[in-house]
Amino acid sequence: MPASAGNASAEASPATPALVLTGGSSGIGAGLAGDLAGEWAVTVVDRDLPREAVPGVSYLRGDITRDDAATTVRESLAERGRTQVEGIVHCAGIGAFGPFMEMPRAEWERLLMVNLHGTLNFIQGMADLVADGGRIVLFSSGTVFKAPANAAAYAASKAGVIGFARSLAAELGAREITVNVVAPGLVMTPLSTSLAAGEENNVSSRAIKRRATIEDFIGPVRFFLSPGSSFVTGQTLVVDGGSIRR
């Protein structure tokens, strides 16, 4: 169901490009919603609605692991006369950490269901609405490349996103739709609060020795959405202050 706040002025002009943003109610997604609103007609879909809506953003409730998220977005766009979107940014995800041999099967299955199967499910349900020359930006994690202990299931779920993006880029390239991935390092959001104790070690491993902020990920996403990235696809950009250098 649409949120009551922030929707009345969401469609300033039919000429404004449309963007669908998952997980836009908190963390990096919320930062992106606030930054992109106005330049894009942003529709956020999330399991939970934000306490404070960004003016001009349409908020919808939906679960990416179920068909209702894509269906709700499609119906909302159609009601507003939108037959296509120019961009999808998929931020929604969850985290769970601990020794893999002690992790209950239900916990790692939930990680795979949301982070990997949820990605496949939502993109499959929405990709046909992306206009030729459009943009799809997915989120993985620098954990895939660092592969620390106690993150096996999470790393596996996020590694799958990278493989998916590379293959999907090949499928959609004929329509000049780009598919790229942002892989953040550790940043303190509701998703990563359980890892706060490791923040100091992460900072010390970085070439740029400071804590990450949500704003650090807005520029990379903007690049992947921009005309300047039209010949960049199937790529993963690690944004972690140089902790991983490759």
| 154 flagged as catalytic | yes
> Rounded to whole angstroms, how far apart are CA atoms 3 and 209?
39
How many C-beta atoms lie closer than 10 Å to residue 157's C-beta? 28
Say which of 154, 164, 217, 224 is annotated catalytic.
Answer: 154
Three-state secondary structure along the chain?
CECCCCCCCCCCCCCCCEEEEECCCCHHHHHHHHHHECCEEEEEEECCCCCCCCCCCEEEECCCCCHHHHHHHHHHHHHCCCCCEEEEEECCCCCCCCCHHHCCHHHHHHHHHHHHHHHHHHHHHHHHHEEEEEEEEEECCCHHHHCCCCCHHHHHHHHHHHHHHHHHHHHHHHHCCEEEEEEECCCCCHHHHHHHHHHHHHHHHCCCCCCCCHHHHHHHHHHHHCHHHCCCCCCEEEECCCCCCC
Catalytic (active-site) positions: 154
